[in-house]
Structure 1
Amino acid sequence: MTMPQIAGPLAAALDVVAEGCADLADPWWVFGSAGMALVGVPGLTPPDVDLIVSERDARALLARWDAAPLEAAPSPLFRSRIFAKAQVAALPIEIMAGFEAFSGGAWAPVVPATRQALDWNGRRLFTPSAAEQAAICRRFGRPKDLARVALLEALA
């Protein structure tokens, strides 16, 4: 996958992610609007970088980035067994392990099945495919997610 045109605070935060996640033990993904930008969705200005990681790797990142698990505000749509915001980059990095979404009347894990590698300044970043990100947006069903489905599908 070729590198999209990403600059500014997002690029700086992705540098930190690529370096900090390089030796993680389990699969991990840049997710949310930062993941969408990585697959080429134009015009996004993500407020943070979302990471989906294993619980083991979440604990490693918490130690590496001196971040503490947070009690996330109750949400009818999302929950994580481990959630933290690392303030180690130009944008906050949100670490989510055991991430689940509520849809169809039940909680279900959000674990991407695809894992696209992107060369990033001599390191690697990973994100779900554009097609899978579109499916996840549809599953989440929020207006902001549904508005991005067509953009993602055009890239699939």
Structure 2
Amino acid sequence: MSHVTPALYATLAEIVPELHVHCLEPWCLIGSAAALLAGADVTVADVDVLTSHDDAERLMTVWSERREPLHEPAGAERFRSHFARFRFPGLPVEVMGGLELNQGDGWMPVRAGRLTLAGLNGLAVPMPSVDDQIRILESFGREKDVQRATLLRRLAASPLRIVE
């Protein structure tokens, strides 16, 4: 696993237990935090959490005092979800309930695929498998996502994976 910064660790230490308690359906990290936990050397600016629509609504209630009400996510022409951004010690957390992607052929749900667990100091952090992370990131099509997918693809092709 690549180096988990103190900011990312502080955020995950607080949110992961709460996500396990408050989410009734499967949830997972996606984006840069998931890529880092899978071993890619990426920078993490926020923590992206993929949930169901109902679980996103539940988190909006539980974390209402942490919500950033004026934040609008970029890419509304390509992405839509029951979205909220929250302030946590360390990094912001973006919850995407029922995330959908439009690649020009209509809105399609973003599916996590096969989930794996990253162990982090006693925390069980669900994330898509490396292959599913690559699929998701490439489908997003943004330069930063394609770069992350490339790093994960190299990692997946490596015959020896070293865990720090």
Alignment partners' CA distance in 2, 1:104 and 1:123? 38
CA distance in 1, matches of 2:145, 2:75: 20
> 1:18 Cα shift?
1.2
**Does the 8 Å CA contact 1:22/1:124 hold for their aligned counterparts?**
no
Q: Distance in 1 between matches of 2:72 and 2:122?
A: 35
Out of 71-80 and 30-39, give the one that drifted further: 71-80
- The letter of the residue matching 2:122 is G
Show the 5 A alignment for 1:42-81: 42=41, 44-66=42-64, 67=67, 72=73, 75-80=76-81
The residue number in structure 2 matching 1:31 is 30
Deviation at 1:31, TM superposition (A): 0.8
Distance 1:84 1:119 in 2: 26
TM superposition shift of 1:48:
0.7
Q: Name stretches of at least 5 consecutive residues in structure 1 with no aligned partner.
A: none
Choose which of 19, 22, 32 in structure 2 pairs with 1:21.
19
C-alpha displacement at 1:59, in angstroms? 2.0
Return the TM-score normalized by structure 2.
0.83
CA deviation after TM superposition for structure 1 residue 26, in Å: 0.8
Contact 2:28 2:128 in 1 (8 A): yes
SS in 1 for 2:131: helix
Task: Look up the SS of the partner of 1:105 in the other structure.
Answer: coil
Cα deviation code 1:73-99 (max 9, x no counterpart): 66221111x110111231110011011
Are the structure 2 counterparts of residues 123 and 108 from structure 1 closer, same or farther at C-alpha, using a change threshold of 3 Å? same
Q: Deviations over 1:30-88 (max 9, x none)?
A: 1111111111101x2211100001122112212222237766466221111x1101112
Gaps in structure 2 of 5+ consecutive residues? 157-164
**Number of the residue aligned with 1:137:** 137
* Residue of structure 2 in register with 1:9 after alignment: 7
Pair 1:41 & 2:40 matched: yes
Cα distance in structure 1, aligned partners of 2:144 and 2:73: 20
Paired residues of 1:29 and 1:126 also in contact (CA < 8 A):
yes
* Aligned-pair identity (%): 36
The answer on whether the counterparts of 2:116 and 2:129 sit within 8 Å (CA) in structure 1 is yes
Do the aligned residues in 1 keep the contact of 2:68 with 2:87 (CA within 8 Å)? Answer: no
